[in-house]
C-alpha cells in the first residue's frame, strides 16, 4: 500500500492551498485550529454583547431595557455561549494548533474526524443561534433545570433548541477528546516521553480525558429531556413518577468536570508562558503534572457541591464538602509552583506575561471564593446568588479567558509569523484587568447582601443600586478592551512586525520550525532528548531537523468535503425534528447516512 502511495505522490510539493473551498474541506490541524479560534472569538463577541444587555438591564433598579422574557433568554444564551461556544472551542483551537507541534507530530491522529468535530461544533452553534429567528431562544438557564425545561412549563421550542444544540456540541467535543487522546498517546516524536511533554500538552491530555468521560453524561441527560419533550416519557416529570433531581445529578456530573475542561487548558497555557518569560524552567514539573491529573480525577467526585441546597441530607453534603475542599490542595500546588517559577527569574512583561500574572492573581481569588462555597452550611446563603456569579467569573474570565489571552499573544507569532501590537496589547490588558475587577468584585457583596442570580430586575429597596452600577461600568470597560483586542488581532495578521521561528526564545518544540509552520510541520521529525528541547543540549539539531526540507515521499492527508456535509446532515436532521412532522427527520437521517458512508469509504491516500 505504502509503495503504491509513493508512486502516486512522487515527490512532495509544498503548496499553500488557499480560498474558500480549501477552508471548507481542510483537514490540516492548523487550519482547523484557526477555524476553531475564529469561530470561538466570534462567539465570545456575541456572548459579550449578551453580557452587555444583561448588565445594561441591571444598571439601575426596575429597569426596562429588556423584558423579563428577553432577559431570561439573554442570560441563558450568554451562559451557553460562553461555556460551549467560546470556552471549550477556544481551548480546542489551541489544542489543534499547538499540541501536534509540541509533541512533534505532522497532524492529529484522525484529521478528518478533527474536521468533522469542527463542523458539528459550528453547525451546533448556528443551530442554537437560529432560535433567535424563531423568537424562541433557550430560556431555562445554561444548566436548564428540569422540570422547568419540560413541556408543561416550557411549551415553546426554546428548550428543544437547547437540548438538540447542546447534543451536537457534545458530540463534537467527544470526537475532539478521542482525537487528542489518541494523538498524544500515539504521535509523539521519538524521545518525547510522557514526562517530557510540555504542560500545555499534558493539560490537553487531562482535558481530553474529561471530555470523553463527562460529555456522554450530558448526552444521556439531554436525550432524557428530548424524549420527555418530544415523545412523552417522564424522566424528569414528577407527576408521572419522574424526578427533576435526576437532571441535577446528571447535569452536574457532567458540569463539574466541565469546569475543569474549561480551566485546565488555561493552566497549561500559563505553565508554558510563565517559564518562557521568566527565563526559567517550570518549577516542580512532576508536581504540576500530577496535580493536573489529580484535579481531573477529583473533579468526578464533587458534582453535588452545586446541589447543597437541593436537600440531599447532611451525609451527602459532608462528603461533597470534603472532596471539594481537597481539590483546593492540588490547585494550590499549581499556583505556588508558578510563583516559584517566576521567583528568581528575569521576567519580561510582555502582554502575554501580563495576562499570565493577572490570571494567577484573579484565579486565586476565584479559587478562594470556591473554598467559601465548599463551606456547605454557608453555601446555603451563597448559592444561586451573585456571590456565585462573582466566583465563577473570576475563575472563568480571570482564569480561563485571561489564560487564553495570554496564550493568544504568546502563540500568535507562531501562527501568523507576526507579532501582535504590544501597545494595543497593554491597553487591552489594563482595561480588561480594571474592567473585570470592577465588574466582578462588587458581585461578591451584591450576592451576600441578598441578590439572587437570574433576576431580571431588583428593587431599589435592596440597597444594591450603586454596586450594580459599578458592575455594569466594569462590564462596559471589558467591552472596550475586547474591541481593542479584536482590532489588534485583525491588524496584526497583516501589519504586525515580522517574528522569527522562536521570537520569545521559548523552550518547547513548537518554536523549532519557521513561523507560520509549513503544512507538514516538521521537515524531519526531531528526536527529543529532554524537557526543554530548545534550551538544552541538542537544540541546534532539533531546529535543524524541524526546518529541514521534507522528504520527497511525504504524504499529507488530502482535503475532504465529507466532514462538512456530514455535519450539515446531522444539523438538518435535528432541525427537522423541530418540525414535529414524524417522517421529516428521515430525510435528514438518510442524507447523513449517505455522507457517513462516503466519509467511511473515502480513499485518504
Partner 1 sequence: MFLRLRRRALAASGWLLAGLALAGCGGPYPQTTFRPTTQYGAVENALFYNTFWWTMLVLAIVWGALLVIIFRFREKPGALEPVHVHGNTTLEILWTVGPALIVAFIAVPTIRSLFELERPAPPSALQVEVIGHQWWWEFRYPQYGNIATANEVHLIQGRTVDFIIHSADVVHSFWIPRLGGKRDVNPQPTPPGNVTRRVNHIVLTPDSVGVFWGQCAEYCGSSHADMRVRAVVQTGDGFNGWLQAYNTPPSPAAGTPEAQGKQILESHMCVACHTIKGTAAAGQIGPNLTLVGGRETIAAGVLPTSVASFERWITYPGGVKPDALMPGISEGAGGMPPTGLTPAQVRAVATYLASLRPASAAAATTAAPATVAMPATPATSGAPGAAGTPASPAPAAAPPTTNSAAHS
Q: Which of 140, 167, 303, 151 is nearest to 235 (CA)?
A: 151
Listed in sequence order, the residues at least 6 apart from 352 whose beta carbon sits closer than 8 Å to its beta carbon are 273, 277, 406, 407, 409, 410, 504
Nearest residue (CB) to partner 1, 29 versus 78:
78
Nearest residue (CB) to partner 1, 130 versus 455:
455
Q: φ and ψ at 129, to 5 degrees?
A: -75, -20
Do residues 552 and 11 make contact, with C-beta atoms less than 8 angstroms apart?
A: yes
Residue 428 C-beta: closest distance to partner 1, Å: 14
Nearest residue (CB) to partner 1, 9 versus 378:
378
369 to 72, 366, 383, 389, 392: CA distances (angstroms): 26, 5, 12, 11, 9
Residue 281 C-beta: closest distance to partner 1, Å: 5
Residue 435 C-beta: closest distance to partner 1, Å: 12
Residue 83 C-beta: closest distance to partner 1, Å: 16
131 to 126, 161, 172, 176, 421: CA distances (angstroms): 9, 7, 20, 26, 38
Nearest residue (CB) to partner 1, 110 versus 456:
456
Residue 458 C-beta: closest distance to partner 1, Å: 7
Residue 71 C-beta: closest distance to partner 1, Å: 8
Residue 131 C-beta: closest distance to partner 1, Å: 17
Nearest residue (CB) to partner 1, 314 versus 500:
314
Report the C-alpha gap between 134 and 100 in whole angstroms. 41
Q: What is the 3-state secondary structure (H, E, C) of 52-65?
A: HHHHHHCCCCCCCC
Nearest residue (CB) to partner 1, 105 versus 288:
288
Nearest residue (CB) to partner 1, 220 versus 462:
462
Reduce the DSSP state of residue 466 to 3 states and report it: helix
Residue 531 C-beta: closest distance to partner 1, Å: 9
Longest pairwise C-alpha distance within the chain:
80
CA atoms 550, 552, 553, 557: torsion sign: positive
Residue 543 C-beta: closest distance to partner 1, Å: 19
Orientation angle between helical segments 88-103 and 402-416, nearest 10 degrees: 50
Residue 119 C-beta: closest distance to partner 1, Å: 33
Nearest residue (CB) to partner 1, 191 versus 450:
450
Report the C-alpha gap between 32 and 98 in whole angstroms. 11
Nearest residue (CB) to partner 1, 220 versus 287:
287
- DSSP H helical ranges for 131-241: 158-186, 199-231
Nearest residue (CB) to partner 1, 5 versus 240:
240
Neighbours of 554 (CB within 10 A): 17
Neighbours of 393 (CB within 10 A): 22
Residue 270 C-beta: closest distance to partner 1, Å: 13
Report the C-alpha gap between 595 and 592 in whole angstroms. 5
Nearest residue (CB) to partner 1, 71 versus 411:
71
Report the C-alpha gap between 85 and 98 in whole angstroms. 20
Q: Which of 187, 16, 167, 213 is nearest to 111 (CA)?
A: 187
Amino acid at each position: 500500500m505504502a509503495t503504491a502511495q509513493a508512486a502516486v505522490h512522487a515527490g512532495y510539493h509544498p503548496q499553500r492551498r488557499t480560498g474558500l473551498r480549501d477552508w471548507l474541506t481542510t483537514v490540516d490541524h492548523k487550519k482547523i485550529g484557526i477555524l476553531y479560534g475564529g469561530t470561538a472569538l466570534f462567539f465570545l463577541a456575541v456572548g459579550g454583547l449578551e453580557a452587555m444587555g444583561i448588565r445594561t438591564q441591571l444598571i439601575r433598579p426596575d429597569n426596562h431595557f429588556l423584558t423579563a422574557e428577553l432577559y431570561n433568554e439573554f442570560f441563558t444564551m450568554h451562559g451557553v455561549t460562553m461555556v460551549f461556544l467560546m470556552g471549550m472551542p477556544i481551548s480546542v483551537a489551541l489544542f489543534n494548533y499547538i499540541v501536534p507541534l509540541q509533541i512533534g507530530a505532522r497532524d492529529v491522529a484522525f484529521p478528518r474526524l478533527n474536521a468533522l468535530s469542527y463542523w458539528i461544533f459550528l453547525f451546533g452553534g448556528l443551530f442554537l443561534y437560529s432560535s433567535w429567528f424563531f423568537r424562541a431562544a433557550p430560556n431555562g438557564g445554561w444548566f436548564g433545570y428540569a422540570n422547568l425545561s419540560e413541556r408543561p412549563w416550557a411549551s415553546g421550542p426554546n428548550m428543544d433548541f437547547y437540548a438538540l444544540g447542546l447534543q451536537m456540541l457534545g458530540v463534537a467535543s467527544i470526537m475532539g477528546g478521542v482525537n487528542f487522546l489518541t494523538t498524544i498517546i500515539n504521535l509523539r516524536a521519538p524521545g518525547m516521553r510522557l514526562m517530557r511533554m510540555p504542560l500545555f500538552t499534558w493539560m490537553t491530555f487531562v482535558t481530553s480525558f474529561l471530555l470523553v468521560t463527562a460529555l456522554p453524561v450530558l448526552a444521556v441527560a439531554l436525550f432524557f429531556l428530548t424524549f420527555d419533550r418530544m415523545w412523552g416519557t417522564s424522566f424528569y416529570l414528577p407527576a408521572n413518577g419522574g424526578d427533576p433531581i435526576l437532571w441535577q445529578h446528571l447535569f452536574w456530573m457532567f458540569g463539574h468536570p466541565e469546569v475543569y475542561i474549561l480551566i485546565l487548558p488555561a493552566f497549561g497555557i500559563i505553565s508554558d508562558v510563565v517559564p518562557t518569560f521568566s527565563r526559567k524552567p517550570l518549577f516542580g514539573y512532576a508536581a504540576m503534572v500530577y496535580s493536573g491529573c489529580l484535579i481531573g480525577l477529583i473533579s468526578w467526585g464533587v458534582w453535588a457541591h452545586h446541589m447543597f441546597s437541593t436537600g440531599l441530607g447532611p451525609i451527602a453534603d459532608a462528603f461533597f464538602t470534603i472532596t471539594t475542599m481537597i481539590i483546593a490542595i492540588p490547585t494550590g500546588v499549581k499556583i505556588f509552583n508558578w510563583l516559584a517559577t517566576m521567583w528568581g527569574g528575569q521576567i519580561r512583561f510582555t502582554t502575554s506575561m501580563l495576562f499570565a500574572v493577572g490570571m494567577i492573581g484573579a484565579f486565586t481569588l476565584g479559587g478562594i471564593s470556591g473554598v467559601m462555597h465548599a463551606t456547605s452550611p454557608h453555601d446555603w446563603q451563597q448559592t444561586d446568588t451573585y456571590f456565585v456569579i462573582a466566583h465563577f467569573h473570576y475563575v472563568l474570565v480571570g482564569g480561563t479567558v485571561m489564560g487564553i489571552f495570554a496564550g493568544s499573544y504568546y502563540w500568535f507569532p507562531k501562527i501568523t509569523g507576526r507579532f501582535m501590537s504590544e501597545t494595543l496589547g497593554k491597553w487591552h490588558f489594563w482595561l480588561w484587568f480594571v474592567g473585570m475587577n470592577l465588574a466582578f468584585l462588587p458581585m461578591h457583596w451584591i450576592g451576600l447582601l441578598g441578590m439572587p442570580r437570574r433576576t431580571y430586575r431588583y428593587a431599589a429597596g435592596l440597597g444594591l443600586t450603586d454596586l450594580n452600577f459599578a458592575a455594569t461600568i466594569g462590564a462596559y470597560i471589558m467591552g472596550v478592551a475586547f474591541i481593542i483586542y479584536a482590532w489588534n488581532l485583525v491588524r496584526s495578521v497583516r501589519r504586525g512586525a515580522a517574528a522569527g521561528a522562536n521570537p520569545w526564545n521559548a523552550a518547547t518544540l513548537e518554536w523549532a520550525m519557521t513561523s507560520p509552520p509549513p503544512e507538514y510541520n516538521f521537515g524531519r521529525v526531531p528526536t527529543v532528548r529532554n524537557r526543554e528541547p530548545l534550551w538544552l543540549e541538542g537544540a541546534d539539531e532539533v531546529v535543524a531537523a524541524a526546518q529541514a526540507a521534507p522528504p520527497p515521499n511525504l504524504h499529507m492527508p488530502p482535503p475532504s468535503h465529507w466532514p462538512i456535509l456530514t455535519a450539515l446532515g446531522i444539523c438538518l436532521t435535528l432541525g427537522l425534528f423541530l418540525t414535529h412532522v414524524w417522517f421529516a427527520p428521515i430525510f435528514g437521517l438518510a442524507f447523513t447516512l449517505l455522507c457517513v458512508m462516503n466519509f467511511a469509504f473515502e480513499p485518504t491516500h
